[in-house]
Amino acid sequence: MSSKQSVVREAFEFPVDGIPSQTFKAKCKTCGSFISGSLKATSNFLTHLQRRHAHVLTGLKDKKGKLTDEQPSLDTFVETEQKKFSSSDSRQQKITDSLTMFIDRSLMPLSIVENSYFRDLLHCMEPRFVIPSRKHLTSSLITKKCEEIILAMKQDFEKTESVCVTIDLWSSRQMRGFIGITGHYISYWHLESVTHGCKQFTGRHTAENILQHYEETIATFNLSSKITNIVTDNASNMKKAFRVDLPGFVEGSRDERDQEEDESDSEEESMSEDKVDTSNAYDYIPEHQSCFAHTL
């Protein structure tokens, strides 16, 4: 059996009753089209593969060897070497954005774009897509996506009345300190949770340094006047960071402060009516609370 006949047998389905000695119609396994020909005259079958399924023909050539000395047709070249998207192409930008979000939201390693199997998957789905390099992903795409997310969070916080934050400080196995700050708030009657920051904590784990990291992170999102509660564990440096001995925080629950204000109402009434009302002065001072799970 010739190499051409072998390719035809693998790429087409022959009649159920067997292969006729004369001309017959065979069904293409790739597209389902019926092509007329015979095993002695296989040009119709091979032409169909060259024009419609050059990648299939290329794979069969690798298995069976070279079929003919003729140069490949223009259709074959166009089919196998598709033109790649330009960087400004809307399809290229859309897939790139989806890929960035996939890596970001799934916490996938950046090296995934260098994985040969992952690249084969993307090429199979869209051969014209240009896969970004790891360097471009790190220096540009992730940074740009981070800026977009922060902007969207700021716009969402503008419609929010109050936010509760949680703060945690820990060390890795390499004894590198990290601080994480999350926010929790109600938006359109739905509880939302976001990460304000998770970064390496430099310096000693003192109350002053913790407070500095907290203020820098909160200032990024313009939330200084909307934080109502701060929840931490019971570590001494955490408790000290948000106590009255450091500026900006008041010890005691909000209910206790309200009770103190009520007791002083009678004295305020006897004072001049021109005095500025300070009854809401504590509304912008966060209340520190210990984590319930840590307390248990």
Q: Looking at the structure, tell me whether residues 112 and 209 fall in a common domain.
A: no
pLDDT in tens, 140-199: 999 898 888 889 888 888 888 899 999 999 888 888 899 999 999 998 888 999 989 888
> Which one of 56, 80, 104 terminates a domain?
80
Residue 199 sits in a domain whose CATH number is 3.30.420
Q: Looking at the structure, tell me whether residues 290 and 176 fall in a common domain.
A: yes
102, part of any domain: yes
What is the predicted pLDDT for the residue at 239? Answer: 87
Residue 90 has pLDDT above 60, yes or no: yes
With beta carbons less than 8 A apart as the criterion, state whether 45 and 35 touch. Answer: yes
Q: How many domains does the chain have?
A: 3
Cα dihedral sign for 191, 197, 198, 202? negative
Cβ-based neighbours of 123, under 8 Å, separated by 6 or more = 129, 131
Put simply, whether the predicted model's pTM sits higher than 0.85 gets the answer no
Q: Looking at the structure, tell me whether residues 192 and 132 fall in a common domain.
A: no
Average pLDDT, the chain: 78
